């Protein structure tokens, strides 16, 4: 569902929520990706040169030179609006954390950035600009030159492998229910890795995974096959171990197809 964003900038200005040195304002999340429903929030990112003064804003800690971002939300016509305020210098710092030299130096994909940062960089790629489209275009090019995708893909593969090992160990121990749970987790991470290797990000919001698989139209994993696994359509309660083995085998097969 595509929502009309044409009046959003004016509404934010009317409320004094767009600082004079704003470099870009873009819609993010389900609205920007065309996945919104009637109750979806309007989420925006705004990037400015200097720290904005927004009365009533909350602060969120980030591990960057300027150690916080601000967020401000309000209800309008039954919908929640939220603006997150970032600094241009913070974006520079986030991009510098995920360079190829950092990746090649062995910086852990589990620790390279926090979720707030990861989400921001992900949304650079999918955001819909209301202001400063050239800023967004430039940052997209810069992001594409980093190892961001490699960091995410590596992390998802490692998490998939870890859950496969758990599932196999649980099967050996006769803990079948836990093995099923671990296999389900492994599947999610393996699918995320495959999606990430195709530049389709969002592993921190798994509720959208089916949407992402459908959108990506993966040769290696057609949607129908993915959906049958995700919904455990061929799970046989008389032989759960067989399902676990088939799922973890698929996870391993997918990992061969994932280009970091």
Least distance from another protein to the Cβ atom of residue 255, Å? 5
Could you tell me the smallest distance in angstroms from the CB atom of residue 168 to another protein?
A: 6
Q: Give the separation between CA 164 and CA 219, rounded to whole angstroms.
A: 23
| Candidate residues 117, 161, 166, 192; the one interacting with another protein per rule CB under 8 A | 161
Rg (CA), the chain: 21
Q: Does 213 bind another protein (CB under 8 A)?
A: no
Binds another protein by CB under 8 A, chosen from 50, 59, 231, 249: 249
* Tokens encoding 224: 């129908």
Closer by beta carbon to another protein, 64 or else 164: 164
| Binding of residue 256 to another protein (CB under 8 A) | yes
Neighbours of 65 (CB within 10 A): 10
DSSP tag of 52: -
- Map the footprint of another protein across residues 37-66, applying CB under 8 A: none
Distance of CA 120 to the CA centre of its chain: 9
State which residue, 79 or 252, has the beta carbon closest to another protein.
Answer: 252
Name the token pair of 3: 């929502």
Contacts of 53 (CB under 8 A, 6+ apart): 19
Residues that bind another protein (CB under 8 A): 154, 157, 161, 164-165, 168, 248-249, 252-253, 255-260
């Amino acid at each position: 569902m595509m929502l009309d964003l044409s009046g959003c900038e004016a509404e934010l200005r009317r409320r004094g929520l767009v600082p004079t040195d704003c470099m870009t304002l873009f819609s993010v999340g389900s609205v920007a990706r065309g996945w919104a429903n009637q109750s979806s929030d309007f989420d925006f990112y705004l990037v400015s040169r200097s720290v904005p003064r927004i009365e009533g804003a909350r602060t969120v800690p980030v591990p960057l030179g300027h150690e916080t971002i601000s967020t401000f939300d309000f209800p309008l016509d039954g919908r929640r609006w939220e603006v997150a305020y970032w600094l241009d210098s913070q974006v520079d710092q986030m991009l510098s954390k995920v360079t190829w030299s950092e990746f090649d130096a062995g910086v852990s994909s589990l620790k390279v950035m926090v979720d707030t940062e990861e989400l921001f960089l992900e949304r650079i790629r999918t955001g819909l600009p209301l202001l400063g489209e050239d800023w967004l275009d430039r940052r997209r090019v810069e992001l594409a030159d980093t190892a961001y995708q490699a960091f995410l893909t590596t992390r998802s593969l490692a998490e998939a492998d870890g859950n496969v090992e758990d599932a196999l160990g649980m099967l050996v121990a006769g803990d079948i229910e836990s093995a099923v749970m671990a296999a389900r987790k492994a599947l999610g991470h393996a699918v995320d890795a495959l999606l990430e290797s195709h530049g389709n990000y969002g592993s921190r919001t798994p509720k959208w995974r089916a949407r992402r698989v459908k959108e990506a139209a993966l040769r290696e994993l057609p949607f129908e096959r993915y959906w049958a696994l995700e919904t455990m359509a061929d799970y046989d309660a008389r032989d759960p171990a067989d399902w676990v083995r088939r799922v973890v085998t698929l996870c391993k097969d997918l990992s061969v197809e994932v280009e970091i």
